[in-house]
Amino acid sequence: MIAQTVAHSMATDALYLDDQDRYSRLRLISWWDQERLRGARLMVVGAGALGNEVLKNLALLGVGRIYVLDLDCVENSNLSRSVLFRVTDEGKPKAQAAARALSELNPDVAVEARRANVITDVGLGVFREMDVVVGCLDNREARLWVNRSCWKAGVTWIDGAIQEIAGVMKVFSPPDGSCYECTMTEADYRLINLRYSCPLLRHEDLVQGKVPTAPTISSIVAGLQTQEALKLLHGFRDFAGKGLVVSGMGNNFYTTAFPRKESCLSHETYPAIESLELSSEESRAEDLFTASRELFGETRGALKLTLDRDLLVKVECPPCGISREVMRPLAKVSHQEAICPGCGEVMSTDIASEVLEGSPLAQRQLAGLGIPAYDVVRVSRADESRFVCLAADRARALGAVA
């Protein structure tokens, strides 16, 4: 244990602080537990303007292990709104650039940076390892995925959103409270359905415009997100299922509570999860079936693996006699890849959402089926399911924050 840094002089009753302890002022807060922060593990999804501020705050507070992911690279326009980026970072992955800055800001903090898509590249096992997940995202589809992942993993997450000089911070805590999808409107669903109306349209192809934001609102909303994370780590959970809305133009702040929708599709929670020493890169689906059989007791009946991410197996154009294997999650396939080079028409698609024991797909590596490292997968037989964590991937998936 780190020694208490506040001492009272017996002679003068004056307050003395250990200035060699960088957290000495924080320890003055009556309920503060620096050791709890040092042992915490947080995920920050998105390292843009909002993510920069959250990451900066977490590092200053001495949160011990931070897992940050972002798919994009630093652009010149990011420099006016992102405190961690420098001119020399232009063209570099945002997550790695932010991690470099955090290591300089506070060497006590371990940071694992990934250039990754949260939907396709992050296994549910990573979510399960987190104390809190902080969302700094710019699209509903990613928020919905994070929300459902956190519910399955049983992890509280904090959503943040900004536009111009307004913003909102929301806290969602499974399993009994309201979630992000509970707050979605018909307009939100229409925008997400636009993505799914064309199954070969990646998010980067869909989003054409940029959201106008200012660094001032980023600081405010990120400060609120970090403060809620701080409170959650100390056991203060009274803001779950609520949001704080900030209107910068009128300097108005107000709190809103989100009702829980009992029919919400995001409320699925995984029961007992079994860990098997399997790896997405090294194990085939058939290996998973073999290892999973003992979990079911009675061995009769074929097993089935459910794919959480729809897999595009192949595209083909029968009139032109063209067929091409793809074997990637739909979210990683662009519309252009489905255009027939012969006639210019959109080719037909073969999409898989499950893998049956004994099928040709069962001979594929799990990674080749779109399953990321350290994921939790559903193996079923008839109406009975088991949930399996690919435990051999843990060190590779968590990296510096393992």
pLDDT of 14 strictly over 90: no
pLDDT of 372 strictly over 70: yes
How far from the centroid of its chain's Cα atoms is residue 129's Cα? Answer: 12
> CATH 3.40.50.720 region(s) of the chain?
21-267
Question: 5 versus 79: which is more confidently predicted?
Answer: 79
Report pLDDT for 376: 99
Output Rg (C-alpha) for the chain, integer angstroms: 23
pLDDT of 238 strictly over 90: yes
Determine the average pLDDT of the residues in 117-140.
Answer: 98
Which residue bears the tokens 């929670």?
A: 269
**Among residues of the chain, what percentage have pLDDT more than 70?**
91
Query: For residue 159, what is the DSSP state?
Result: E
Question: 335 versus 203: which is more confidently predicted?
Answer: 335
Q: Is the peptide bond before 329 cis (omega within 30 degrees of 0)?
A: no
pLDDT of 124 strictly over 70: yes
Report pLDDT for 198: 52
Report pLDDT for 2: 34
pLDDT of 206 strictly over 50: no
pTM above 0.75, yes or no: yes
Determine the average pLDDT of the residues in 165-183.
Answer: 97
Q: Nearest 5 degrees, angle CA 49-CA 54-CA 57?
A: 125
Contacts of 325 (CB under 8 A, 6+ apart): 313, 314
Q: Please name which of 116, 172, 136, 152 lies closest in space to residue 50, comparing C-alpha atoms.
A: 136
Determine the average pLDDT of the residues in 36-63.
Answer: 99
Distance CA 308, CA 31 (A): 41
Three-class DSSP category at 203: helix
Determine the average pLDDT of the residues in 253-275.
Answer: 96
Phi, psi torsion values for 315, nearest 5 degrees: -125, 150
Which residue bears the tokens 């990754």?
A: 116
Contacts of 383 (CB under 8 A, 6+ apart): none
How far CA 389 is from CA of 108, 126, 200, in Å, comes to: 30, 10, 29
Determine the average pLDDT of the residues in 194-206.
Answer: 52
Domain 21-267 fold: Rossmann fold (3.40.50)
Query: Model confidence at 11, in pLDDT bands (50, 70, 90)?
Result: very low
Total count of residues recorded for the chain? 402
Determine the average pLDDT of the residues in 170-177.
Answer: 97
Distance CA 5, CA 25 (A): 9
pLDDT of 263 strictly over 80: yes
Strand partners, 229: none
Q: Tokens at residue 179, please?
A: 């979630």
pLDDT of 222 strictly over 90: yes
Q: Give just the sign of the alpha carbon dihedral 322, 327, 331, 333.
A: negative
pLDDT of 297 strictly over 90: no
Q: Please name which of 133, 110, 222 lies closest in space to residue 179, comparing C-alpha atoms.
A: 133
Q: Which of 275-289, 296-310, 345-359, 366-380 has the lowest mean pLDDT?
A: 296-310
**Checking DSSP bridges between strand 110-114 and strand 273-276, what pairing results, if any?**
unpaired
**Among residues of the chain, what percentage have pLDDT more than 90?**
85
Report pLDDT for 13: 40
Q: Which of 6-10, 106-110, 221-225, 234-238 has the lowest mean pLDDT?
A: 6-10
